[in-house]
Structure 1
Amino acid sequence: MIGSMFVGFIIGLIAGAITSRGERMGCIGKILLGWVGSFVGQLLFGNWGPMLADTAIVPSVLGAVILLAIFWRRGS
């Protein structure tokens, strides 16, 4: 549980840095973004690339970037 929270947070941080969105999201928001982005990314792109805590990092970051680009306004 703690490992998946950490991985979700890291994925949320990376996606936020790539898109420059979600700066004021907070830790819990970034963890949730990482979890949902991981689900969406692995559903769309599969399980390839480096794995951390049974999570494929590259597809997960891509999924989180997609979610941020669609649902999060810049500066909010």
Structure 2
Amino acid sequence: MTVSSIIGAIIVGAIIGALARLLLPGRQAIGWILTIVVGIVAALIGTAIAQVLGVATTPGIDWIELLMQVVLAIVGVGIVAGIRGRRGATRP
């Protein structure tokens, strides 16, 4: 990976993480930095899955790859928010 592709992955991951947080209903108990990290991880995993399925390199915008990344980010933000929310909860 080149420096420009790493920077691009960070930018795309940040946008995907923010989009996932906006699309996930309710309030998430995680900060923006963790949301961006989840988005970056989801973008990398989504790209890997798209490459395995053969849909990563299509002419124009890779809508299927982008959809996979956003869905993975929504799931990731939901899981992280659930884990962080449970950790702070007190049991009666």
Q: Against the structure 1 CA distance between its residues 23 and 9, is the aligned structure 2 distance closer, same or farther, given a 3 Å change threshold? A: farther
TM-score w.r.t. length of structure 1:
0.63
**Structure with more relative contact order (C-alpha pairs < 8 Å, separation 6 or more):** 1
- RMSD between aligned residues: 3.0
Contact 1:6/1:31, CA 8 A, preserved across alignment: no
The residue aligned with 1:9 is 14
Q: Distance in 2 between matches of 1:63 and 1:38?
A: 8
Asked if 1:37 corresponds to 2:42, the answer is: yes
Among residues 41, 64, 76, which one is paired with 1:67 in the alignment?
76
- Structure 1 residue runs without a partner (length 5+): none
- Structure 2 residue runs without a partner (length 5+): 1-5, 51-55, 86-92
C-alpha deviation, 1:40, in angstroms: 4.3
Say how many residue pairs are matched: 70
C-alpha deviation, 1:41, in angstroms: 4.1
Higher Cα Rg: structure 1 or 2? Answer: 2
Q: Against the structure 1 CA distance between its residues 19 and 48, is the aligned structure 2 distance closer, same or farther, given a 3 Å change threshold? A: farther
C-alpha deviation, 1:31, in angstroms: 2.5
- More helix by percentage: 2
Percent of pairs with identical residues: 25
TM-score w.r.t. length of structure 2:
0.55
Q: Distance in 2 between matches of 1:23 and 1:11?
A: 18
Contact 1:48/1:58, CA 8 A, preserved across alignment: no
